[in-house]
Structure 1
Amino acid sequence: MKILAIADEESRYLWDFYEKEKLEGIDLILSAGDLSPDYLSFLVTMSSAPVLYVHGNHDDKYKYKPPEGCICIEDDIYVYQGVRIMGLGGSMRYHAGEHQYTDAQMNKRVRKMRWKLFRHRGFDILLTHAPAYEINDGRDLPHQGFRIFVKLMEKYSPKFFIHGHVHMSYGRQHKRYDKYHETNIINAYERCIFEYEADENTLRENLR
């Protein structure tokens, strides 16, 4: 399964300079937040792949203008072609605003999903906006990751953890790819295509 992961900045390569060949072969699109709803609607219209999304900390507008034709998987486990995808959007709370959470509040969201985690026997991909604590996150509060994401990787060993929020254009050199125990971590800033092997569940070398 070929997956397009996107976050934080609309790709001019895909939007402004669209050619249908650029989305050919994409089976699934995962949005890690902070993207225009028009952009997500464009992608779902121009491709044959479903678009699943979580909210970024700047996605308050989704409340009034949700991405048409796309599927929100906040606080849910969505199964697509046998792949279990768990969605937890938002960032660390740094001021009053929607889609911002303290560590305790994010922990509470995960606790409320205990039955879903039990029923689905875990998950294969964790889709979030914020990174995990001290794994490719920022040390300032707005860009700090959540501790519970580390615990989820340790307990359930998902094959992939997809996040955004820490832009690769920032002064600090945030990684596109990392690994924590058995989990491949991808920073989806702008766009990144990766292959999910349904049988071997391994990351291809041509990650880009």
Structure 2
Amino acid sequence: MKIMVLADTESRSLWDFFEKSKLEGIDLILSCGDLNPHYLQFLCCFTKAPILYVHGNHDARYEQDPPTGCTCVEDRIYNFNGIRILGLGGSMRYKKGPFQYTQREMNARIRRLRFSLMRHRGFDILLTHSPAYQINDGQDLPHMGFSGFNYLMDKYHPQYFCHGHVHMSYGREYKRLDRYKDTQIINGYEKYVFTYGEDLSQSQE
């Protein structure tokens, strides 16, 4: 299964210079947030692949104008062909606005999922906007990661953790790929395509 991960900035290759062939072979699209909802709607018109999304901290417009044809997976586990995807969007709270949380508030969201996690026997992909705490996150409050995500990886050992928020254009210290114990981590900034089940350490960008 080939999965495309998107985050933070619209790919000019997919929007300004779109060709339908660029989506051929893609089975699933995961949006990590902070993308124009019309961009996701546009892609939805040219693929049969489900587009699943969580909110970024700049996605207040989604409340009035959500991306038609796409599926929000906030605070739930979505099963796609046997792959369990857990969605938890938003960033650390640094000002007033939607889709921002304190560490305590994110932990409360995770606790509310405990019965769903038991029923689904865990999950395979963690889909978020923010990174995990001290794993390629920023030192400033807006870009600090959530410790609850570290807990989820420690307890459930998902195969993949897809996030955005820390743009790779910020500097070389923000990696495209990383690993935390059993979990392979993908920074979905702009776009990244991988095959489910592959060892990403062997892949070439």
Pairs within 5 Å for 1:91-130: 91-130=91-130
- Is residue 131–residue 137 contact of structure 2 (8 Å, CA) maintained in 1? yes
Q: Provide Cα deviations, 1:83-125, integer angstroms capped at 9, x if missing partner.
A: 0000000000001110000000000000000110000000000
Cα distance between partner residues in 2 of 1:174 and 1:57: 19
Q: Give the equivalent residue in structure 2 for 1:147.
A: 147
Q: Give the equivalent residue in structure 1 for 2:88.
A: 88
TM-score w.r.t. structure 1 length? 0.96
- Is residue 33–residue 59 contact of structure 1 (8 Å, CA) maintained in 2? yes
Cα distance between partner residues in 2 of 1:135 and 1:160: 14
Distance apart, 1:203 and its partner CA: 3.7
TM-score w.r.t. structure 2 length? 0.97
Cα distance between partner residues in 2 of 1:116 and 1:190: 31
SS in 2 for 1:65: coil
Q: Give the equivalent residue in structure 2 for 1:166.
A: 166
Cα distance between partner residues in 2 of 1:58 and 1:207: 31
Cα distance between partner residues in 2 of 1:84 and 1:175: 25
- Is residue 2–residue 196 contact of structure 2 (8 Å, CA) maintained in 1? yes
Please tell me the residue identity of whatever aligns with 2:147: R
For residues 207 and 124 of structure 1, do their structure 2 counterparts lie closer, same or farther at Cα, with a shift above 3 Å needed? farther
Any stretches of 5+ residues in structure 1 without a counterpart? none
Cα distance between partner residues in 1 of 2:182 and 2:126: 13
Distance apart, 1:207 and its partner CA: 5.0
Please tell me the residue identity of whatever aligns with 2:46: M
Any stretches of 5+ residues in structure 2 without a counterpart? none
Cα distance between partner residues in 2 of 1:176 and 1:82: 26
Q: Does 1:16 align with 2:32?
A: no
Q: Provide Cα deviations, 1:66-96, integer angstroms capped at 9, x if missing partner.
A: 0000000000000000000000000000011
Cα distance between partner residues in 2 of 1:23 and 1:145: 31
Q: Give the equivalent residue in structure 2 for 1:186.
A: 186
Cα distance between partner residues in 2 of 1:91 and 1:60: 13
Cα distance between partner residues in 2 of 1:160 and 1:129: 14
Cα distance between partner residues in 2 of 1:94 and 1:196: 34
Q: Give the equivalent residue in structure 1 for 2:3.
A: 3
Over the matched positions of the two proteins, sequence identity in percent amounts to 62
Q: Provide Cα deviations, 1:10-68, integer angstroms capped at 9, x if missing partner.
A: 00011100011111000000000000000001111111211000000000000000000
- Is residue 9–residue 190 contact of structure 2 (8 Å, CA) maintained in 1? yes
Please tell me the residue identity of whatever aligns with 1:98: P
